[in-house]
Structure 1
Amino acid sequence: MMRRVLGFLLLVGLSAASVGQTRITDVMAWADGWLNSTRSQNYTGVLSISGDSGMYTYRLWHKYTDGQEEERLRRLDGPLLEVVRVGDSVTCLHGPGADVPADHALPASPFAQLLHLEWMRVAEHYAVWSVRTERVAGRPAQLFELRPQHDAEVYRHRLWLDEETEVLLKYQIIGLDDAVLSEARFTDIEFGIVELPPQFGSTFPNSFWHQYRPQSIQSTVDAAQIWQAGYMPEGFTLRVEEARGEGWYQMWSDGVVKLSVMVDPIMNNMPMNTSERRGANALVAQVHGPWQVVLIGAIPERTAQRIATEIEWR
C-alpha cells in the first residue's frame, strides 16, 4: 500500500547530495494518507515513549468502528495509569495514592503531537523527504524526515510508516548534533484486533478516575501593551494569547513545534535565571526587572535564550 501511495505522489528528482532520497511535493496528500490510516485501523501493541519526563512503556489497544475511535493505554512501568479515549472524550484512571493534577499531560497515543500538526503550515516551513526502508517492531517501514526549509535553528522530525498499512510505528525528534532527543515507538504491534485484549480486563485496586479536560483557550488582553517578542525564529506565528492572573501566556507555532511563553510578575522570592533541556524541550527562565519570562518548547536552548533575552518592554 505504501508503495502505491508513494507512486501516486509527485516526487522530484534526486540531487547528488541526496542519493537514495526523494522529496515529496504533495505534503498534504501524504499526511492525509497516513493520518487516516493511523486513526482508522484496528491494532494492539506495546508502545515505548521517552522524552522530558523519562521513559515509560504502555500497552495500547486502538479500535475504529462506524467512524469513531476507541483507545486504551495502560502504563506498564512506574505509577499505575490507564487512559481511556472514546472519540474526543478522555478519562484517566490512577492507582491508589497518586497525586496528579486534573490537567496533567497525557502520553502521546499514538504520537498525539503528530496527529494535531497544522499540515498546511508544515508544508510552508518544512520539506518532507522519503529516506529509506527500515524495520520497526519486526515490520518493514518507510522512514520519512521533516527538514526545515529556512535558516532558523529548529529540529528535524522523523516518522516511520508501516509499509503495508501506513500506520505510524515510530517518531523521533533529532537535535542539531543529530542526537535523538525524544522518541515514541511500537516495540510490538498486531493488526486486526477488534476485541479488547485480556491484558486490559483487570481493574486497579482502589483506583480513582477523573475526566481529562484541558484548559479552555480564551484570547483576552493585548500583552503588547506591556511587552512583546523582539525575536522569534522564522516561520513561528502567534497562535494563542491569554491573560493568566496578572501575567500572560502565549503559544507560538510553526506548524510542527509549539512554543509556550509565560510572563509573570515576581511576587515573593526572587527567581533565578535558568536554562536546561529536558528531552527535546528547552526550559529557559529569565528575570527582567519585576517580571519573570519562562519559555518551554522543542527548540534549541540557545534559541530559547535569545527569545527570552530579546523581549521588548513598553
Structure 2
Amino acid sequence: MKLRFGLCSLLLVVSAQAAELLTASESVNLLHRMGMAARSLNYSGVYVYQHAEMLETFRLVHAFDASGEQERRESLDGLRREFVRTNDQIVCYLPDSKPFVLDRRAANKFFPGVMPDQAADVLSSYAFKRLDTERVAGYDCQSILMEPRDKLRHPHKLCVEPSSGLLLKTTMYSTGRREPLEQFAFTQLEIGGQINKQLLKSVLASKALPLEMPATPAGPRTAPVVSPELSTAQFVVDNLPGGFRLVTETRSQIPGKSAPVLHYLYSDGMATVSVFIEPAGNGPVSLPLTQGTVNFFSRQIDGWRITALGEVPLRTVQLFTQAYSQR
C-alpha cells in the first residue's frame, strides 16, 4: 500500500510540472458542475475512505426529485453507522444509541459533495491544473490538481467523470513530500437510472432511541452561562493566514471544560480551521499535536489559552494562534 501511494505521489509531482493551468472561468465551471452533479444526480455505489492507517468502506444511495435530495449511506466495516439525508439535514444512526442531526456545513462536505459553496474563496487560494485521464470504478475520469498558492494548505487531486461532472475520487496530499493524507474513492458506481425508494430508508431507525436534535444556536435567550472573564474578554486579530475568512463565532460547552469557550470557525472554501479561546485554568488540553489529518497547536498569553486545529499544515494552525492577542 505504501509503495503504491509513493509511486502515485511521484507521478503527481511529474504530471503537475507539465499540467495545463485552467482559467478562472474554467475553474469556476468545474466547481459548479461538481456541486450540481453531487446534488442533482441519481447514483449508487460503494466508496472507500482512507486516512492514516485506517481504511473504511461505505455504501451510498443518492436520489434527487421534485422534493429535493434523499440519501442513505452506511458503513460496511468497523462500527455500524448510518447517515440518512433529506436535503440539508443528515441524521446519524448508531445501534442502541440516540440518533443526532448534523449541521448544514457537515451535510455539504459528505463525499462526493465535498466542494465549497463559494468558488471565489477557493480560487484565491488554489490554482487548478488539468492532469491525465484516469479510470475509477469503471469510469474514465479527468484528474485535476488543486495546487495551493502558498504552503499554508494542502494540495488536492480530484478525479471527475467528464459527462456528468460527478467527483469519483479525491486525495489530499502533504505539502512537502506529497504523501497521501486522506482519500475518498468509489470502487463500485452506477450513475443515473431509477433509485428504489426503499433503499433510502433507515435500517437502524427502528432500533434507535428518540432523535436528539442539535442545540439551538446561541442567542439572547439561549446563550450559555459564561464566566465573567470570558464575557469581558476582548481580543485583537491581526495577520491571519491569507485566504481564510471567519464563518461562524459561537460560545460552546466542551466536555471536560468547567466553562464554555469562544469558538471561531475559519474557512478558505476548502479547508477549515477552528480557534478556541478559554481561561488557561479551564481544564487540560487533551488533544495530541497531530491526530490523523488534523494538526493542533495551543499557546497561552496573559492567562488565556488559544487553541487552533484543522486539516491544514502545522505552520498554519500556529499562525492562527499567533494572530490573536488581548486588547
**What corresponds to 1:5 in structure 2?**
none
Structure 2, gaps ≥5 residues long: 1-14, 253-258
Give the length in aligned residue pairs.
Answer: 295
**What corresponds to 2:272 in structure 1?**
258
Give the structure with the larger strand fraction: 1
Amino acid at match of 2:111: P
8 Å CA contact 1:283–1:295 kept in 2: the answer is yes
Of residues 227, 240, 247, the one that matches 1:232 is: 240
Structure 1, gaps ≥5 residues long: 1-15
Amino acid at match of 2:305: Q
Q: Deviations over 1:86-142 (max 9, x none)?
A: 11232222212x47776697795324442x442122122221111111111121110
8 Å CA contact 2:99–2:211 kept in 1: the answer is no
Change in Cα spacing, 1:148 to 1:28, as seen in structure 2 (3 Å) is same
CA–CA distance in 1 between the matches of 2:108 and 2:16?
A: 37
**What corresponds to 2:169 in structure 1?**
170
For the aligned residue pairs, the C-alpha RMSD in angstroms reads: 3.5
**What corresponds to 2:20 in structure 1?**
21
Once the 2 structures are TM-superposed, how far is the Cα of residue 273 of structure 1 from its aligned partner?
Answer: 8.8
Amino acid at match of 2:180: V
**What corresponds to 1:13 in structure 2?**
none
% identical aligned pairs: 23
Once the 2 structures are TM-superposed, how far is the Cα of residue 189 of structure 1 from its aligned partner?
Answer: 0.5
Change in Cα spacing, 1:277 to 1:75, as seen in structure 2 (3 Å) is same
Q: How does 1:54-65 map to 2 (within 5 A)?
A: 54-65=54-65
Once the 2 structures are TM-superposed, how far is the Cα of residue 67 of structure 1 from its aligned partner?
Answer: 5.9
Q: How does 1:1-314 map to 2 (within 5 A)?
A: 18-26=17-25, 27-51=27-51, 54-66=54-66, 68-96=68-96, 98=97, 109-114=110-115, 116-149=116-149, 151-176=150-175, 177-196=177-196, 203-204=203-204, 206-208=207-209, 210=211, 213=214, 216=217, 226-244=234-252, 247-267=261-281, 269=283, 271=284, 276-309=289-322, 311-314=324-327
Q: TM-score, normalised by structure 1?
A: 0.79
Moved more, 211-220 or 65-74: 211-220
**What corresponds to 2:256 in structure 1?**
none
Moved more, 52-61 or 159-168: 52-61
Change in Cα spacing, 1:289 to 1:25, as seen in structure 2 (3 Å) is closer
Q: Deviations over 1:151-196 (max 9, x none)?
A: 3521112211113322111112111120111111111101224233
Q: TM-score, normalised by structure 2?
A: 0.76
Moved more, 37-46 or 25-34: 25-34
8 Å CA contact 1:217–1:240 kept in 2: the answer is no
Change in Cα spacing, 1:212 to 1:123, as seen in structure 2 (3 Å) is farther
8 Å CA contact 2:38–2:166 kept in 1: the answer is yes
Once the 2 structures are TM-superposed, how far is the Cα of residue 20 of structure 1 from its aligned partner?
Answer: 4.5
8 Å CA contact 1:154–1:299 kept in 2: the answer is yes
